Amino acid sequence: MALGPVSQIHISVTDVDRAVAFYRDVLGIPFLFQVPGQPMAFFSSGQVRLYLGVPESPDFASRVVLYFTVDDVDAEYERLVTAGVSFLDSPHVVHRDGSVELWMAFFRDPDGNNLALTQERGS
């Protein structure tokens, strides 16, 4: 028996409505649903569901670093800067091998979770 792929990632937030506005309206991640009467919202990121929620107890509080693949890191960086996102750095190479460069740019969501744009480019 072996574990299957990751199906869902919990992201702790303090204000679900504010988090929904950021992830849906600013980042453009497909919104699935918000649970009525519960501090929970769900998004679709490829095959992985993102669960934004206020933790029921400190034992379930999470700090994540999410890396979002983009087709053009420079264009997405500019789009998000225009939308008011403050980046920690500009797009830059973090790894290079014989045929590929890995580019990244880091920013934070309204709750301080670290997020990154990533793109692999042929070198």
Question: How many structural domains are present in the chain?
Answer: 2
- pLDDT of res. 1: 67
Same domain, 49 and 31: yes
For residues 71 and 101, membership in a common domain is answered with: yes
End-to-end CA distance of the chain: 40
| Domain around 73 | 63-123
pLDDT tens-digit map of 42-65: 999 999 999 999 999 999 999 899
To the nearest whole percent, how much of the chain has pLDDT over 70? 99
**Same-domain check for residues 76 and 26:** no
Report the distance separating Cα 20 and Cα 41, nearest Å. Answer: 7
| Residue 31's CATH number | 3.10.180.10
Ranges of the chain whose pLDDT falls below 50? none
The one-letter code for the residue type at 5 is: P
Same domain, 52 and 69: no
On whether both 43 and 69 belong to a single domain, the answer is no
The CATH number for 72's domain is 3.30.720.110
**28 and 82 share a domain?**
no
